[in-house]
Structure 1
Amino acid sequence: MSRTSTQEVFSRTAQQAAKAVISNYSTSFGLATSLLGSSHRHHIRNIYALVRIADEIVDGLAADAGLGVREQYALLDDFASATRNALRSGVSDNLIIHAFAETARAAEITVDLIEPFFASMRADVAAPGEPLAPVRSFHPDELRDYVYGSAEVVGLMCLRVFLLDQHRTPAQIEQLENGARELGAAFQNINFLRDLADDSQRLHRSYLTAASRLTDSDKSAWVKRIRQQLSYAEGTTSLLPKDARAAVRGAAALFAALNDKIAATPVDHLYRERVRIPNVVKASLAAKAVMLTMKDGRP
């Protein structure tokens, strides 16, 4: 078998592995990604897979395997180091990292986005040698940096994929980058609210307040902020290439529906149970996003 054939088979297998990650971990993002044009779809799956695996390392995978804090930190560092090496060489023996590296090199996703992401993942592991506090709270500056690294840079990674072989003015690129960051932050903030039960009880984290628990007033303020973030991002969607808009709109609509449901749910309930959107509603929102995009012109 020639080297080219070897690479093709391995890369195809890596992409299949990345597709399996999104299929098994998120029906919502899986549905949204299916609305993308074929030139973007596998790249976005590759990004999601890498981000998800890193997130799983710090959200229980390592701890459930019996690893101590130092070992968890080392496992994440090894994953980050392998990602950096793959960005330089274009190859990894880890299928998920290999798939991501191919996307990163094609879309010029560089360390300026990779490093903040892994810094945020490290924030979810207690520093080596330090005891785990009963609840880890994030102060506003810490939260800002955490959300940038864990979510906004992921939006910027996806944007670089969407803009492959596209021409946009510097002003349009700035608008799109701001929109990608706002959308990523909105998604993350919604996840913080819907995951209050798991974050507080299992992971002992309090992202949205320096106190141990949110109040209903706190929750309402976050819901309002999220609506503003989603609204800003929506205003930039028409600047995306047309074969990316339905997916972005569909994902945004789903998270807007989650935000509305959170708004109507008492905060005490959120600390007991995760709110969900029925699959039939997800399908309806995706269909509406497709229909709206079909009416669009080019940017």
Structure 2
Amino acid sequence: DVVGLMCLRVFVKGDEDRYEALKESAMALGSAFQKVNFLRDLKADYENLNRSYFPNTNLLELDEISKQRIVEEIKADFKMGYDGIVQLPNEAKFGVYTAYKYYYKLLRKLQKTPSLEIKNARIRVPNYQKFGLLAKSYVNYKLNLY
């Protein structure tokens, strides 16, 4: 939440009305990005750092039901965050939209990955797909196709 708010503060350049209007969306988007990172880095965070970012979830026994519950929570955050992206100042939209597309793609990969594999490997988006996301995001930005 905090990272989303810090970024929003920069993006709106002192426009308090716009900041207040986009505050909830920015918090949700920041939260979605962070939760995707947590899910992707589950193994390292839990085993090496003894950290768990998903309350009420036994990460030693992460199953498909628990994973799906986490994914649905993240999707809800993304939906709220997207609503704010389209209202951002033009100069901020491209970067935030591109990050949104990347993290949503990573979430879809995590959703398709068996929970056992998530616990034992770090899932990533290949570079060629990252470049494709960047190109599509740029075209959508230029043509205002959000």
TM norm structure 2: 0.89
Structure 2 residue aligned with 1:275: 123
Q: Report the Cα distance in structure 2 between the residues aligned to 1:256 and 1:175, rounded to whole angstroms.
A: 23
Seen in structure 2, the aligned counterparts of structure 1 residues 212 and 296 have a Cα distance that, compared at 3 Å, is: closer
Q: Report the Cα distance in structure 1 between the residues aligned to 2:142 and 2:115, rounded to whole angstroms.
A: 38
The structure, 1 or 2, with the larger RCO (C-alpha pairs under 8 Å, 6+ apart) is 2
1:174, distance to aligned residue in structure 2 (A): 2.9
Which secondary structure does the structure 1 equivalent of 2:13 belong to?
coil
Deviation readout 1:234-279 (Å, 9 max, x if unpaired): 1111221111101001001101001000101111111110100011
Structure 2 residue aligned with 1:239: 87
Moved more, 240-249 or 282-291: 282-291
Computing the radius of gyration over CA atoms, which structure comes out larger, 1 or 2?
Answer: 1
Which of the numbers 76, 81, 102 marks the counterpart of 1:254? Answer: 102
Seen in structure 2, the aligned counterparts of structure 1 residues 212 and 294 have a Cα distance that, compared at 3 Å, is: closer
Which secondary structure does the structure 1 equivalent of 2:144 belong to?
coil
Which secondary structure does the structure 2 equivalent of 1:271 belong to?
helix
Q: Report the Cα distance in structure 2 between the residues aligned to 1:252 and 1:212, rounded to whole angstroms.
A: 26
Matched, 1:189 2:35: yes
Which secondary structure does the structure 1 equivalent of 2:124 belong to?
coil
Q: Report the Cα distance in structure 2 between the residues aligned to 1:295 and 1:223, rounded to whole angstroms.
A: 30
RMSD: 1.8
Moved more, 286-295 or 206-215: 206-215
* Alignment-mate amino acid for residue 23 of structure 2: E
* Alignment-mate amino acid for residue 181 of structure 1: M
Structure 2 residue aligned with 1:264: 112
* 1:178-217 matched pairs, under 5 angstroms: 178-210=24-56, 211-213=58-60, 214-217=62-65
Structure 2 residue aligned with 1:81: none
**Gaps spanning 5+ residues in structure 1: where?**
1-151
Identity percentage of aligned residues: 35
Which secondary structure does the structure 1 equivalent of 2:86 belong to?
helix
Q: Report the Cα distance in structure 2 between the residues aligned to 1:240 and 1:206, rounded to whole angstroms.
A: 32
Which secondary structure does the structure 2 equivalent of 1:235 belong to?
helix
Deviation readout 1:70-95 (Å, 9 max, x if unpaired): xxxxxxxxxxxxxxxxxxxxxxxxxx
1:212, distance to aligned residue in structure 2 (A): 4.3
Q: Report the Cα distance in structure 1 between the residues aligned to 2:9 and 2:34, rounded to whole angstroms.
A: 20
**Gaps spanning 5+ residues in structure 2: where?**
none
1:294, distance to aligned residue in structure 2 (A): 1.2
Which of the numbers 158, 167, 187 marks the counterpart of 2:7? Answer: 158
Which of the numbers 292, 295, 299 marks the counterpart of 2:140? Answer: 292
* Alignment-mate amino acid for residue 192 of structure 1: F
1:215, distance to aligned residue in structure 2 (A): 2.1
Q: Report the Cα distance in structure 1 between the residues aligned to 2:139 and 2:92, rounded to whole angstroms.
A: 13
The number of aligned residues is 143
* Alignment-mate amino acid for residue 220 of structure 1: Q
Q: Report the Cα distance in structure 2 between the residues aligned to 1:209 and 1:202, rounded to whole angstroms.
A: 18
Q: Report the Cα distance in structure 2 between the residues aligned to 1:212 and 1:224, rounded to whole angstroms.
A: 17
